[in-house]
A and B are shown apart, each in its own frame.
Chain A
Amino acid sequence: MNSQRIHAVDVTARNLKANARLSLKDQQLRHNMRSAMDSLISKRIISMPDEDERENLRELGNKVRARALSELPDLLELLEANLIKQGIQVHWASSTDEANAIVLKIAQTRNAKQVIKGKSMVSEEMAMNEHLTEHGIEALESDMGEYIIQLDNEKPTHIIMPAIHKNAEQVGRLFEHRLALPYTNDVDSLIQSARGILREKFFHADIGISGVNFAVAETGTLLLVENEGNGRMSTTVPPVHIAVTGIEKVVANLQDTVPLLSLLTRSALGQGITTYVNMISAPRQPGELDGPEEVHLVLLDNGRSQAFADSELRQTLNCIRCGACMNHCPVYTRIGGQAYGTVYPGPIGKIISPHLLGLENTPDHPSASSLCGACGEVCPVKIPIPALLRRLREENVKSPQQAGQVMDGQGSRYSAKERLLWKGWQYFNSQPLLYKTGTFLATRLRALTPKNLGPWTQHHSAPKPAARSLHELAKAHLEKQS
């Protein structure tokens, strides 16, 4: 095992820089991430070959999401009313603690010992597994990627492909150690053996847990897409199904889900449609052969309403969790998801995590981007991620006392010294005489340019000013011309 490896237990969101440094040293990780991301990038583009059509669809996706968010409170009420009418129990949670308490209570009422889970990022956000385990309930992941990282006591590295940072050899070794299976690096046999183990578990689980891709208000439908069938198993085999979702996942009607689904699956894996599209609208009805006896939906806020309250930041909630922004992010590709120390890594993580955890717990996230814009260019619902990152930086360096607080942890990077430096920069750049004197001195004293310029010279030689500035050269030249 690579000793540099980042382990879930050591990683916190506050240490993004240090985590990144460790990841960068892990050559295997760098290699695995690069080849995985390259393949996802090309799959996405192949699945949407017509540029006009792709852009039209993105525009439509943006409109559908923006419209849903503009009616969010009404749609949530409608959703709740329709779900209850159809026999699904609805619970509201403002924090992850509340959400965990709700899930635990349901489990305890049913005397549950074992929970089987389909893929759900919101349950990761809640750290639900840990919470259930503490209370003596076993929570087993059934999505292949989630299962792999659970076996290795790690956190997901990606929101769609939780174990994408591992290659087949690493998974083979892991199965050998943890499941006592003979070593192989054949992907098909690895998957088949894990499936065999998981299949058994479905029949013994007391509760199945899933996420939700879209909650349709008008029809009271919980829509869930997946490729492996574990989502369908977890939502139909155990006697109780609990779905957990963020409040922003609601859309107005079924028609709205059509473009969003198309965008989601193409942006994520380059698929026109996934193998399974589950639409859940009620528990088992009399006379039906399968389905759970009880269905619950837990709607989690956890900082989302803070983002909702600001018209610019609200766009963060457009996200349909496709992962395309990660796949295209040069920072994410280098450091992998775990270095972020948050449930949602990559570009979307950098704009949503500060709402979920407060800027004080994610102080470096808004800065950990070169603002190259690749994320915004591919986002299927056109979230202006670079603009939102810039906005968060602004909130981050504001004085904590400054009025108009829109975010928890505003000013977590506030530094009087830094602000003063930028004021000096402003003064220097808006006083022509000062600017010219400064650049004159820099050019004349260029021989004295220090060789060590702190962080810059770790990876670069020191830049040396030219002998004459453009101001001087241009002046001399243009005077000669006239």
Chain B
Amino acid sequence: MSNLFYNAAPQETRVAPPRKPARTYPTGKPTQVYLFGTCVVDLFFPEAGMDAIHLLEREGIRVDFPQGQSCCGQPAYTSGYTEQAREVARAQLKLFANDWPVVVTSGSCAGMFREHYPDLFKDEPEMLAKVKHLAERTYELAEFLLHVCDVQLIDQGAPLQVALHTSCSARREMNTHLHARALLSQLAQVERVEHDHESECCGFGGTFSVRMPDISGAMVADKTQSLLASGAQQVVSADCGCLMNINGSFEKQNIPLLGQHLASFLWQRTQTKQEASV
């Protein structure tokens, strides 16, 4: 189908354009990974980090949680404080010295490692090489479970309707909406329901929600209303920034629906009696 006339362009621009190549995944599970929990998970959703560890350990992978970790630097970076973001990024980089994969429990922080660290260190060749190496072995949790671990989930729960919310930077940088969808579809009793404007931002945007509270508030109000209208009994997301925003808004409106991190949801749905008792 060439109804878009692009062949009419001059010869030198008619070549097939370079596309971002699909990511290639290592074959076989590693024995050891790093976990980067992210600052929001650390303080507000620690159980999501723990459930990520459980899920990884069940795959037979040892998890290292470097105690020196804090924040990926995104809040300062997106607020224009590039220098401050760079120094925080530098502190994180030191922690992942071994060659192991780095699994991140949030798509937007994984995106920060992969897409924006190279920009932060573009003028420091030595650091840039390290950053590129980090970018190559950084995975968002759902992506890692699905494509590297080739996980096979066995649903242990009762029938449930679930709405999935994906963060924008994650869906546009890491394709996490597809990864999380694929994982949810492995759960026999879970039905994923669509909601209106699913690909639209929840209004968090880091400091945006504080700088522009009214606009952000209108966005999250619409988001929570459409999640509610979907009839889902449970909201799931792989990004804790969005979850903090969405849950905070649900609570303020007294809507008895709370979002849960994908890691916690998956772990709870797939635990066997034996796992639950230890």
Residues of A within 8 A of B (CB): 17, 20-21, 24, 30, 48, 50, 53-57, 59-60, 63-64, 67, 253, 255-256, 258-259, 262, 266, 272, 330-331, 334-335, 364, 366-374, 376-377, 390, 392-397, 419, 422-423, 425-426, 428-430, 432, 435-436, 439, 442-443, 454-466, 468-475, 477-478, 481
Q: Would you call B58 an interface residue if the criterion is a C-beta within 8 Å of the partner chain's C-beta atoms?
A: no
Residues of the A chain whose Cβ atoms lie less than 8 Å from the Cβ of B222 = 334
Q: Nearest-CB distance from B160 to chain A (Å)?
A: 25
Q: How far is the CA of A442 from the CA of B6 in the complex (A)?
A: 58
Chain B residue with minimal CB distance to A392? B80
B49–A470 CB distance below 8 A: yes
Question: Which of B46, B169, B214 is A21 in contact with, Cβ under 8 Å?
Answer: B214
B209–A456 CB distance below 8 A: yes
B78, B79, B91, B214 — which one has the most chain A CB atoms within 10 A of its CB? B214
Question: Could you mark each residue 150-174 of chain B with 1 if its beta carbon is under 8 Å from any beta carbon of chain A, else 0?
Answer: 0000000000000000001100110
A-B contact count (CB 8 A): 244
At the interface, is chain B mostly helix, strand, loop or mixed?
A: helix
B43–A370 CB distance below 8 A: no
| Nearest 9 pairs of A and B residues by beta carbon | A370-B205, A460-B248, A59-B17, A393-B80, A459-B217, A372-B201, A372-B168, A430-B91, A455-B213
With contacts A262-B5, A390-B78 known, is A370 near B216, CB below 8 A? yes
A426–B37 CB distance below 8 A: no
Q: How far is the CA of A199 from the CA of B244 in the complex (A)?
A: 57
Residues of the A chain whose Cβ atoms lie less than 8 Å from the Cβ of B70 = 428-430, 432, 435
A455–B210 CB distance below 8 A: yes
Q: Would you call B190 an interface residue if the criterion is a C-beta within 8 Å of the partner chain's C-beta atoms?
A: no
Residues of the A chain whose Cβ atoms lie less than 8 Å from the Cβ of B39 = 429
Q: Nearest-CB distance from A64 to chain B (Å)?
A: 6
B9–A255 CB distance below 8 A: yes
Residues of the A chain whose Cβ atoms lie less than 8 Å from the Cβ of B5 = 258-259, 262
* Sample (9) of A-B pairs whose CB atoms are under 8 Å apart: A56-B17, A60-B6, A60-B17, A259-B4, A371-B205, A422-B84, A460-B249, A466-B43, A481-B62
Q: Nearest-CB distance from A436 to chain B (Å)?
A: 7
Question: Could you mark each residue 197-213 of chain B with 1 if its beta carbon is under 8 Å from any beta carbon of chain A, else 0?
Answer: 00111011110111111
Residues of chain B at interface, number, CB under 8 A? 84
A474–B50 CB distance below 8 A: yes
Residues of the B chain whose Cβ atoms lie less than 8 Å from the Cβ of A57 = 4, 6
Chain A residue with minimal CB distance to B73? A429
With contacts A256-B9, A426-B88, A474-B49 known, is A53 near B2, CB below 8 A? yes
Q: Would you call B76 an interface residue if the criterion is a C-beta within 8 Å of the partner chain's C-beta atoms?
A: yes
Q: How far is the CA of A59 from the CA of B10 in the complex (A)?
A: 14
A426–B6 CB distance below 8 A: no
B46–A426 CB distance below 8 A: no
Q: Would you call B16 an interface residue if the criterion is a C-beta within 8 Å of the partner chain's C-beta atoms?
A: yes
Interface residues in B183-238 by Cβ distance below 8 A to A read 199-201, 203-206, 208-222
Q: How far is the CA of A464 from the CA of B78 in the complex (A)?
A: 24
Chain B residue with minimal CB distance to A253? B10
B84–A20 CB distance below 8 A: no
B81–A465 CB distance below 8 A: no
Residues of the A chain whose Cβ atoms lie less than 8 Å from the Cβ of B45 = 466
Q: Would you call B25 an interface residue if the criterion is a C-beta within 8 Å of the partner chain's C-beta atoms?
A: no
A397–B80 CB distance below 8 A: yes
Q: How far is the CA of A441 from the CA of B135 in the complex (A)?
A: 33
